[in-house]
Amino acid sequence: MGRVLPGQTIGILGGGQLGRFMGIEARLMGFKTVVLDPTAGCPASQVCDKHIQAALDDEKAALELARLSDVVTLEWELIPMQTLAAVEAVKPLFPSSKVIRNIQDRLAQKDFLYKSGFPQTPYAAVSNMEELRAAVKKLGLPCILKRRTHGYDGKGQFRIKTEDDIPKAVQALEAPCVLEATVAFEREISVLLAIGTDGQSRAFPIAENVHKDGILFSTLAPARVPMPRSDEALVLAERVGQALGHVGVMAVEMFQKKDGSLLINEIAPRVHNSGHYTLGGCATSQFEQHLRAVGGLPLGPTVIESPVVMINLLGDLWKNGEPRWEKLTGQPGVKLFLYGKAKAAPGRKMGHFLFIGDPPDGPLAHAQRLYERLL
């Protein structure tokens, strides 16, 4: 395909906050956008040129989006394969259905990593209680049971700390699962990488992540990873992207073990929550970079001028009404981003804020104190 140029249209499968930021950056770059999402007033629909309100498995609606677009991308890897196939038959789709097929099923993703020789935690496929007991015996305790699909932000996951926990996992086993061994790690990191249609790639500074209850709470960039290990992480992520044949932005989440070695935890073949620090923290945001990559345009610079911390804002903060944003927005170095979601709910990502700077007490501690002003 040739380059997608200003005035042409980018189709987006999925209308959440990731699609919203793609729509905002597309407008700044001169592109038009059309989004497919079942929810009226979804975050992306508020900034895109056209919203096709239909289910993501509606092939007729997906074909309409494809015909209106010059290139199609996605904000979420769990788009039904039949939808991706229908779109791909009409217009260029990045990432391709081949990439998504290797990712959207957790077992397929782990099998891909294993066959490609990438380091990861030991795992086993599990579909019933008998297989679970055998897998626990093989992998050891503690371990974590995850549904093969639709398990994200801590959903569809169950931690098994002792043998007494095994019978309690029956609800998770209502769907096929993967059991993963847990490892002692020093930090969680993610490498955000963009690969263009010409195969050229460019990485953002490595991010260091902290999760609470399975949901990303904070990201610090650049990560506190020594140079030899950071170079190793960048090379590992690029090898994963090339092995997949990926086009666009992708995130490779890793564990850095106490001995410094790296294990791949998960691959997200799309823009990613841990890359939100690039919105104001880097010369090019992950969303602009993604549009450049899928549109066949040169990739932008990814330099970071100052440490950046991203803090997720979950619906729990709205339990007593709208948070008092003046406690946050009046502070130097703060950028607030809200997603335009109609209803707050516990654990639901409603927005995030960035703190950009390097105060004497450290950016992470400073951002934590800023967050506590909202509680």
Strand partners, 179: 124, 145
At residue 323 the predicted structure's pLDDT band, cuts being 50, 70 and 90, is very high
Among the residue ranges 1-5, 52-56, 200-204, the one predicted with the least confidence is 1-5
Taken in order of first residue, the domains within the chain and their CATH numbers are 9-93 (3.40.50.20), 122-181 (3.30.1490.20), 185-372 (3.30.470.20)
What is the tens place of the pLDDT at every residue in 216-234?
Answer: 999 999 999 998 999 999 9
**Tell me: the pLDDT tens digits for 207-219?**
999 999 889 999 9
pLDDT at res. 113: 98
Q: What is the 3-state secondary structure (H, E, C) of 194-238?
A: EECCCCCEEECCCEEEEEECCEEEEEEECCCCCHHHHHHHHHHHH
337-374: pLDDT as tens digits: 999 999 999 999 999 999 999 999 999 999 999 999 99
Mean of the pLDDT values across residues 199-205? 97
Q: Is the pLDDT of residue 279 over 80?
A: yes
Please check the confidence at residue 154 and state whether its pLDDT lies above 80. no
Across residues 107-126, what is the average pLDDT? 97
Q: Is the pLDDT of residue 59 over 80?
A: yes
Instruction: Report the interhelical angle of 59-68 vs 81-88 (nearest 10°).
Output: 30
- Supply the pLDDT for residue 348: 96
The average pLDDT across 118-140 equals 96
For 19-32, what is the mean pLDDT?
A: 98
| Residue range 313-322, pLDDT digits in tens | 999 999 999 9
Q: What pLDDT, on the 0 to 100 scale, is given for residue 172?
A: 86
Q: Indicate if the pLDDT at residue 74 is higher than 80.
A: yes
Task: Report the chain's mean pLDDT, rounded to a whole number.
Answer: 96
State the pLDDT at residue 277: 98
DSSP single-letter state for residue 273? G
> What is the pLDDT at residue 151?
72
Q: Is pLDDT above 80 for 1?
A: no
Q: Which candidate, 107, 85, 116, 115, places its Cα nearest to that of 98? A: 85
Residue spans of beta strands (DSSP E) within the chain: 9-13, 32-37, 50-53, 71-74, 123-126, 143-147, 157-160, 177-181, 185-195, 201-203, 207-212, 215-221, 248-257, 262-268, 308-314, 334-338, 349-356
Per-residue pLDDT for 38 more than 90? yes
Q: Span 300-319, mean pLDDT?
A: 97
Provide the Cα torsion 138, 177, 117, 200; round to 10°: -160
Give the mean pLDDT of 251-273.
96
What pLDDT does 261 receive? Answer: 95
User: What's the rounded mean pLDDT across residues 127-151?
Assistant: 94
Global pTM reads: 0.96
For residue 179, what pLDDT band results from cuts at 50, 70 and 90? very high
